Amino acid sequence: MIDLYTWTTPNGRKVSILLEELGVPYKVHSIDIGKDEQFAPDFLAISPNNRIPAIVDHETGRSLMESGAIMLYLAEKHDRFLGEDRWATIEWLMWQMGGVGPMLGQVHHFVKYNPGKSAYAEERYSKEARRLYGVLDKRLTARDFVAGEYSIADMAIWPWISRFEWQQIGLDDFPNVRDWYGRIAEREAVQKGYDVPHHVTPIPLP
């Protein structure tokens, strides 16, 4: 059994989507980051960076923080969703971890939650968001999924794109991203994983 510590955010949903895709049993523990539950000593023992998601795998005794590490661990353990070209999968997973997550996170912070506080930051991160969407759109020109077949890289990127409205991005401007987003949104495991630890809204559709 796996314990998943998570909240209703893109980084949390990445892991619940993967667990649903794998079909392995897991127990959900809500860590409400709006109430600072990520700073509780019990949680810090598992996730010393005070961030969700984190897991404890009781079968192996391993605990892990950082969504990318968790996804690689689970994919390797079950030998699934690493794609036919493992290094392409890792490459695009790292692209999400190093670029999409941090940059779109800044868009949410400045554009969605603190508009008007810093025109510079709003412009900088919005521009970066459009650049990243452009990179993804180009990558998806000749393939259905970022590493060829559906993999943990898609599962890592997709929850960030599901916030396209927060980012004031029109998906019709990026047709390959729009189609890829729709293909993934149709998956039952994605719909279930999106609602962990609880339902907030239906999956936004363009």
Ligand X SMILES: N[C@@H](CCC(=O)N[C@@H](CS)C(=O)NCC(=O)O)C(=O)O
Q: Is 106 in the site for ligand X (CB under 6 A)?
A: no
Of 5, 8, 11, 132, the one binding ligand X by CB under 6 A: 11
Q: Identify the residue among 30, 50, 63, 176 touching ligand X (CB under 6 A).
A: 50
**Contact pick of 38, 89, 162, 167 for ligand X (by CB under 6 A):** 38
Give CA–CA dist 203/185, Å, rounded. 7
Helices (H), the chain: 10-22, 41-46, 67-78, 86-95, 101-107, 119-139, 152-161, 175-185, 188-194
How many residues of this chain bind ligand X (CB under 6 A)? 14
67: contact with ligand X by CB under 6 A: yes
Residue 157 amino acid letter? I
Strands 26-30 and 62-65: unpaired
Instruction: State which of residues 66, 128, 149, 179 lies at the interface with ligand X (CB under 6 A).
Output: 66
Closest distance to ligand X from the beta carbon of 110 (Å): 15
Q: Which stretch binds ligand X (CB under 6 A): 61-69, 131-139, 146-154, 189-197?
A: 61-69
